[in-house]
Amino acid sequence: MASQLEDKLNEDLKASMKAGDKLALLAIRAVKTELMKRRTAKAGVEITDEMVVETLRAYVKQLAGSIEELVAGGADEGEDNIAQMRGEITYLDRYLPKLMDDVATAALVDEVLAANGITDPKMAGKATGLVMKDNKGKVDPGVVARIVKQKLGA
């Protein structure tokens, strides 16, 4: 089945072109480039909504990492390139499913720890994996890892 999310990106790209929205054009084109790389890496691979979401998340994470590196290197938060990257992140957020907040994630971690009898801090990696196994795309892996470590004292 073709990706409805990719179709939405294509529609929004056309609308952005007509409106002259440079930020939206930049963000969508970057994501579409990454999708094209996936499509051509394995001939005939069908792009699914899940793949589009993974690609969006990876690009947003890349932008956030770039911002962190620039700021850590002494760049001013108000620089044009940093503002542009923040704008792209904000724009692309509309396509991403919302993740559980910290409270809901903590409750999920508690359930998994209790159900599997995990109390040893050395089992933090396994616990994180168990939470992620059934909740990929619903929770932030970094938040899960942080909460697991807190709960287990790792």
CATH number reported for the structural domain that contains residue 72 in this entry: 1.10.1510.10
Who's near 28: CB < 8 A, 6+ residues apart? Answer: 9, 12, 13, 16
Say if residue 66's pLDDT is above 70. Answer: yes
- The per-residue pLDDT for range 96-123, each reduced to its tens digit, is 988 889 999 999 999 999 999 988 889 8
Domain that holds residue 147: 102-152
Q: Clarify whether residues 67 and 41 are in a common domain.
A: yes
- The per-residue pLDDT for range 4-19, each reduced to its tens digit, is 999 999 999 999 999 9
Return the C-alpha torsion angle 133, 134, 137, 139, nearest 10. Answer: -90
- The per-residue pLDDT for range 131-143, each reduced to its tens digit, is 998 888 788 888 9
Exposure b/e, 85-95, CB count within 10 A at least 16 = b = bebbbebbeeb
d(CA 36, CA 21): 22
Q: Clarify whether residues 91 and 106 are in a common domain.
A: no
d(CA 152, CA 79): 41
The last residue of one of the domains, among 95, 111, 128, is 95
- Report pLDDT for 43: 73
Say if residue 1's pLDDT is above 60. Answer: no
Residue found under tokens 């109390």: 119
Residue found under tokens 């907040």: 101
Give the CATH number of the domain where residue 125 resides: 1.10.10
Q: Clarify whether residues 41 and 16 are in a common domain.
A: yes
